[in-house]
């Protein structure tokens, strides 16, 4: 059966643009989402693009697994594992409790809890269907990840210098507390330029938690008891990467494809968002995001000071 070409064209344009913007100060996923929201306000039919975009988003989550290897566990060490697991658990639970107290909608507070504790926009994309999240909720959560994660790029180096943390302490703290992988690299580069690799390894260990977190979220939301196919694909991709059989060229291509697919999916997601809905409850959401960021940063910092 032939692929529909008309919906493929805008998704392809966004995917290519994301590759050129990757590595910049703002996540290409966030930029793609904003582009989708803006295009949604135009008088044109987007239904077929939105359907196709959901598939690209899930495929992107699958390929995300090829960025990870089980070897990262050995690289981080026992102390790093304890810090990551404790930070993820504390951030997720605290965000859910405070979000419920603030009256933030269940889907939105879950997206914030997962995004801030795991890996930002990619994690939000991975669980949005599991919690039947509204498109506006996804857009708001991704925006908060971008804003507060960017703030951490400034906070981590400042605190590192103020408290005279070692390079390893600063790197582990950045990897365990900052939301997006690109933001971790930026924060660690400024705080501990000789230990950026450690920061990335710690962050990737958090990304591995996307699979078990997806199960937790699905059960809590009353979703299907089975494992979604794209989560299974994510785990298989991690295992394939761990074998070390894939050459560097293939991994580089898969890395670019991951960014392109996730960006195309985010663009399609934005096409279903209406600007009139985005501003609703932003005050409470900002408070929740600040608390979630504070818990992630505070818990990981205390554990780093104790264990590293």
Is residue 3 pLDDT above 60, yes or no?
no
The two tokens of residue 102 are 């603030």
pLDDT in tens, 220-257: 877 655 667 888 898 899 899 989 899 999 999 999 99
pLDDT in tens, 257-268: 999 999 888 888
Closest C-alpha to 8, from 264, 259, 234: 264
How far, in Å, CA of 276 to CA of 157, rounded? 37
pLDDT of residue 16: 86
What's the half-sphere exposure (Cβ side, CA atoms, 13 Å) at 107? 16
The residues, ordered by sequence, that sit 6+ positions from 154 with a Cβ below 8 Å of its Cβ are none
- Highest mean pLDDT of the ranges 14-18, 24-28, 112-116: 112-116
- Lowest-confidence range among 18-22, 148-152, 298-302? 18-22
pLDDT of residue 169: 95
* 166 φ/ψ sector (left φ>0, alpha ψ -120 to 50, else beta): beta
pTM for the predicted model, two decimal places = 0.86
Higher pLDDT, 68 or 93: 93
pLDDT of residue 225: 59
pLDDT in tens, 58-67: 898 899 889 8
Is residue 306 pLDDT above 60, yes or no?
yes
User: What's the whole-number average pLDDT of the chain?
Assistant: 87
The average pLDDT across 276-294 equals: 87
| 277: confidence class by pLDDT, cuts 50, 70, 90 | low
pLDDT of residue 224: 59
pLDDT of residue 45: 60
Percent of the chain with pLDDT over 90: 43
The average pLDDT across 158-182 equals: 93
pLDDT in tens, 94-141: 999 999 999 999 999 999 999 999 988 889 988 888 888 888 899 899
Is residue 1 pLDDT above 60, yes or no?
no
Is residue 23 pLDDT above 80, yes or no?
no
Query: How far is the first Cα of the chain from the last one, in angstroms, to the nearest whole number?
Result: 56
């Amino acid at each position: 059966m032939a692929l529909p070409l008309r919906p493929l064209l805008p998704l392809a344009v966004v995917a290519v643009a994301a590759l050129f913007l990757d590595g910049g100060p703002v996540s290409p996923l966030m930029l793609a989402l904003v582009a989708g929201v803006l295009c949604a306000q135009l008088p044109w039919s987007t239904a077929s693009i939105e359907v196709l975009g959901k598939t690209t988003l899930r495929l992107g989550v699958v390929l995300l697994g090829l960025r990870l290897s089980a070897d990262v566990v050995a690289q981080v060490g026992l102390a790093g594992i304890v810090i990551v697991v404790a930070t993820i658990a504390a951030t997720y639970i605290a965000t859910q409790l405070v979000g419920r107290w603030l009256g933030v909608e269940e889907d939105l507070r879950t997206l914030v809890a997962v995004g801030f504790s795991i890996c930002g926009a990619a994690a939000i994309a991975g669980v949005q269907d599991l919690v039947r999240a509204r498109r506006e909720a996804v857009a708001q959560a991704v925006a908060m990840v971008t804003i507060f994660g960017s703030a951490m790029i400034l906070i981590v180096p400042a605190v590192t210098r103020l408290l005279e943390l070692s390079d390893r302490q600063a790197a582990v703290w950045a990897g365990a507390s900052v939301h997006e992988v690109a933001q971790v690299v930026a924060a660690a580069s400024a705080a501990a330029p000789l230990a950026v690799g450690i920061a990335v390894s710690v962050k990737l260990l958090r990304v591995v938690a996307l699979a078990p977190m997806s199960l937790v979220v699905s059960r809590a939301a009353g979703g299907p008891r089975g494992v979604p196919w794209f989560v299974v694909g994510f785990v298989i991709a991690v295992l394939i990467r761990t074998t070390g059989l894939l050459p560097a060229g293939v991994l580089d291509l898969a890395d670019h494809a991951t960014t392109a697919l996730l960006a195309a999916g985010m663009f399609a997601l934005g096409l279903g968002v209406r600007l009139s809905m985005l501003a609703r409850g932003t005050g409470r959401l900002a408070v929740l995001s600040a608390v979630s960021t504070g818990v992630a940063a505070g818990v990981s910092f205390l554990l780093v000071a104790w264990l590293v």
